[in-house]
Amino acid sequence: MRTTTLGRTGITVSRIALGTMMLGAWGNRDHEDGERLIRTALDAGVNFVDTADMYSAGESEEIVGKALKGRRDEVVLATKVHFPMGGGGNRQGNSRRWIRQAVEGSLRRLDTDRIDLYQVHRPDPSTDIDETLSVLSDLVREGKVLAIGSSDFPAEQIVEARWTAERRGHVPFHTEQPPYSVLMRGAERSVLPTAQKYGVGVLTWSPLASGWLTGKYRRGGPLELNEFRRDLIPHKFDQSLPGNVRKYEVVEELLRLADDAGLSLTHLALAFVLSHPAVDSAVIGPRTTDQLEDLLAAADVELDDAVLDRIDELVPPGSDLNPADADYTPPQLADPSLRRR
């Protein structure tokens, strides 16, 4: 397994990170099987494990915590805060009040005394970034958190956070975690260049575009969705959206391209993400050990210029095939009242 340094943190991480969103009620409900999957990844050289408090309402963190018993020091452990964790308006967001509570919950579920990378899962328009960075900086100084990051932050908010940290004496975000795949290349427009400019480490998520780049969904075939895809991300499969219909055409072209290159589609997709110079690590989210082993085999695949050029023809750089796939929409676009007098 190849490794690299995560941004300018000095922390060495595997080029493939194990995401655990599919461990728990959202995917694999068998805790022992989930623990085995994590240990299989560690045995294969993966040292970077990414989770979040909201994944299956904390269940994923619990599985990770059990799997890492006796091996905690081998692992760069990342988790996240932002999304609701129970009822009430104060059990969510990026406020000092909630982050203070949330980090303690994550530490308890993960059964650890520190989090190597604590990430803000989404921007929070209701909370000043100064407030968020202030409490995160306190956690770093206390040793409960070693590095901090953002996820799905637009480039302008990455810059604002850095400016605020410099002016206010806070610890700056060390990393950004954007969605990035052959089908969703919007991060190339400004997020990835901004991260490169400021030395921000990048770990990307959804390299297989929610399963579209496994070849599972083909034109004319059944669109069988599991509970997670049907209930939580239906916009990525809604056939009334032209971008989703276009996915079928692009997937067929990519299958032919992968076959010509002697690769599987999953290996082509993961190698594409890792080929970008801004990307330190790609987060994979397998549900089974078989899926994990297939993806780990892609760690050493490198795509030549001809393959990358053909991908550019199919999905132009900086574009998202289905704009609705974006998991964060700025409030000024989502709320009409912010655009009208």
Cite the active site residues: 55
Beta-strand ranges (E) seen in the chain are: 3-5, 12-14, 16-19, 48-50, 76-81, 115-120, 145-151, 175-177, 201-204, 281-284
Residues 340 and 267: their CA atoms lie apart, in Å, by 46
- Rounded (10°) CA dihedral 123, 128, 131, 133: 50
Mapped onto helix, strand or coil, the DSSP state of residue 28 is strand
Residue pair 55/24 in contact by the 8 Å Cβ criterion: yes
- List C-alpha distances in Å: 93 to 26, 83, 105, 139, 148: 22, 6, 15, 17, 16
Can you tell me which residue has the tokens 């990342």?
A: 78
Residue pair 96/139 in contact by the 8 Å Cβ criterion: no
For residue 198, count CB atoms less than 10 angstroms from its CB and return exposed for 0-12, middle for 13-18, buried for 19 or more: middle
